[in-house]
A and B are shown apart, each in its own frame.
Chain A
Amino acid sequence: MNGTIINLLIDILIIFFLLSGTFFVFSGALGVVRFKNVYLRLHAATKSSTLGVAGLMLGAFLFMLNEHGIVSGKLLLGILFVLITAPVSAHMIGRAAYKSGIPLSEEAVQDDYKETFEE
């Protein structure tokens, strides 16, 4: 009796992680389509999809642990690597985009980085 309730709670937790992960990845993809230029799209592509992938992997980890008794360290390492690499790649893409002369969108109100090129 006790065991089934705990199993149910763990299942609910797994479902929560998987669903929220999917939701965040989907929203990130939608943001990439909707936003106007490279810089705004990078915002959508890094943050929400990082959290989404982390949620999916955590859900998969819990599922493997609960259902098959496998402690899958690769999934946890995957979270770590996504967390480290996503901001770095966003930084590099953004910098490369700026250096190759892609303008900010028309509504842009401030550009401090431009001054460094004028000197």
Chain B
Amino acid sequence: MPFQIVLNIIIAVMWMFLSETYNFSTFAVGYILGIFLLFIMRRFVKRPFYLNRVWKVSLLILLFIRELIMSSIDIVEFVYKKELDNRPGIFALPLEVKSDWEVTLLANLISLTPGTLSLAVSDNHDVLYIHAMDIPDIESSISDIKDTFEKAIMEVTR
């Protein structure tokens, strides 16, 4: 993937030299041309086309923003409730992702999902301890975390 990006930048610089205008907009045009060329040539390069991964990263960012908005609305509902009858607690979530980078990303994402706050990671990176605002209706967000976040992160990093 780094090789393809370098190739793309080289194509953009070559485009700048060819058209003899050295500014950002020419570079951008050259970069888009480079993407187009790499897209045509993608079968001859062994690694998968790098924009696939860029696409998945942007999907992850969109997911992040959506979850942030949902959880804020959730919290606001809690704040304006007449009596606070939620039952908090800490539950353990077994992790599939292993590397530091993935665990950090997942913990940050969980902190911004409705009603959950990542509290600690076990020493061997196996379990994530999550504080939940309301344990009884947390089942759906566990499956949410498992199915959407972990999958999305694994698609980006692997």
Question: Within 8 Å of chain B (Cβ to Cβ): is A44?
Answer: yes
Interface size on A, residues (CB 8 A): 42
25 contacting pairs across A/B (C-beta < 8 A): A27-B80, A35-B84, A39-B117, A43-B75, A43-B131, A44-B78, A46-B111, A46-B112, A47-B74, A48-B72, A50-B72, A51-B69, A83-B68, A87-B107, A91-B111, A94-B117, A95-B120, A98-B120, A108-B90, A111-B89, A111-B90, A112-B91, A112-B92, A112-B129, A113-B90
Interface-central residue, B71, B86, B111, B115, by most chain A CB under 10 Å: B111
Identify A43's interface contact among B89, B117, B120, CB under 8 A.
Answer: B117
Closest CB of chain A to B109's CB: distance in Å? 8
Interface range, B side: 20 to 34
Residues of B within 8 A of A (CB): 68-69, 71-72, 74-76, 78-80, 84-92, 107-108, 111-112, 115, 117-120, 122, 129, 131, 133, 135-136
Q: Say yes or no: is A59 at the interface (Cβ < 8 Å to chain B).
A: no
Question: Whole-angstrom distance from the CB of B31 to the nearest CB of chain A?
Answer: 20
Contact indicator B108/A48 (Cβ below 8 Å): no
Q: Tell me whether A31 and B78 are in contact (CB under 8 A).
A: yes
Cβ B120 vs Cβ A109 within 8 A: no
Task: Find out whether the CB atom of A109 lies under 8 angstroms from the CB atom of B87.
Answer: yes
- Nearest B-chain residue to A91, judged by Cβ: B118
The answer to whether A113 touches B129, judged by C-beta atoms less than 8 angstroms apart, is yes
- What residues of chain B lie closer than 8 Å to A28, measured between beta carbons? 75, 79
- Is A2 close to B, CB under 8 A? no
For A107, the closest partner residue in chain B by CB is B87
